[in-house]
């Protein structure tokens, strides 16, 4: 059976998430897969099994790789715990929330060169870290730009799922274009994307590492044209991929 985004949306809306315990049940496997893929996009070599070990046991036995990858996975777990209450209470997007998410996700992960330049997790970049020709505003412009996209998003009347998804896509693409931090912009942006979706009763989405080239392409289209239709369609496809699985007989089912 071929499932659509509307199928996923309908199933998600049937669930009642009234507490952090409900959220834990709904996102039990999701949060591990999200953390694994979001970090993997940025170059982490941690396996899905090792990521799960950190989420479930707080440690990995016999690991000999880059310690930063362990910090990044643990930071994903800490950030999820930090956001749970806020998701349930539907706290709005704000500059303060964004700075807190970045601090949680990047704690202990800034390299020596950034540290020597005065960069710190939880603060906007002090130096220019642009990507390509159109991504990354000047450090002095970051606070105003972040406040602008927060205000623009919060002022919208989001009264149906399509408007919500488009607004979430616009916010994510705009945030990535600002490139507000010395590090962690992608991870923070993908976390904010899901935060926005969930406080508006839409299913969160995993952007899979194997699809990152399409992801980057969709972001680049927005950077050059301000058009988000392609990114919205990409999110719908990734959502279906996130929430469908195959059983032992090869039959597809929705795992919500």
Give the separation between CA 19 and CA 198, rounded to whole angstroms.
13
C-alpha span between 188 and 181 (Å, rounded): 9
C-alpha dihedral, 75 to 81 to 83 to 86, nearest 10°: -170
Number of domains into which the chain is organized:
1
Residue 81: CATH number of its domain: 1.10.3290.10
Nearest to 171 by CA among 59, 57, 66, 92: 92
Q: Which domain holds residue 246?
A: 5-254
Which DSSP string corresponds to 221-250?
Answer: HHHHH---HHHHHHHHHHHHHHHEEE-TTS
Per-residue pLDDT of the chain (256 residues; tens, 9 = 90+): 689 999 999 999 999 899 999 999 999 999 999 999 999 999 998 999 999 999 998 878 877 778 889 999 999 999 999 999 999 999 999 999 999 999 999 999 898 999 999 999 999 999 987 666 556 789 999 999 999 999 999 999 988 999 999 999 999 999 999 999 999 999 999 999 999 999 999 999 999 999 999 999 999 999 999 999 999 999 999 999 999 987 666 677 787 8
pTM score, two decimals? 0.94
């Amino acid at each position: 059976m071929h499932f659509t985004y509307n199928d996923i949306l309908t199933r998600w809306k049937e669930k009642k998430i009234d507490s952090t315990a409900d959220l834990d049940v709904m996102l039990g496997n999701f949060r591990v897969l999200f953390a694994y893929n979001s970090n993997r996009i940025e170059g982490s070599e941690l396996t899905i099994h090792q990521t799960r070990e950190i989420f479930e046991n707080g440690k990995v036995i016999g690991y000999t790789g880059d310690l930063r990858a362990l910090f990044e996975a643990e930071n994903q777990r800490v950030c999820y715990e930090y956001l749970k209450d806020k998701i349930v209470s539907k706290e709005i997007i704000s500059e303060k929330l964004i700075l807190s998410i970045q601090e949680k996700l990047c704690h202990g992960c800034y390299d020596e060169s950034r540290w020597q330049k005065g960069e710190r997790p939880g603060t906007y970049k002090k130096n220019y870290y642009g990507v390509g020709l159109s991504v990354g505003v000047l450090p002095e412009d970051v606070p105003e730009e972040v406040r602008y996209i927060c205000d623009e998003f919060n002022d919208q009347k989001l009264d149906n799922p399509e408007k919500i998804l488009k607004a979430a896509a616009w916010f994510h693409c705009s945030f990535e274009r600002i490139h507000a931090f010395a590090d962690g912009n992608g991870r923070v942006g993908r976390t904010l994307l899901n935060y926005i979706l969930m406080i508006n009763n839409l299913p969160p989405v995993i952007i899979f590492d194997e699809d990152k080239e399409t992801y980057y392409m969709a972001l680049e289209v927005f950077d050059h044209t301000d058009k988000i239709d392609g990114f919205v369609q990409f999110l719908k496809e990734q959502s279906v991929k996130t929430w469908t699985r195959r059983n032992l007989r090869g039959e597809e089912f929705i795992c919500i």
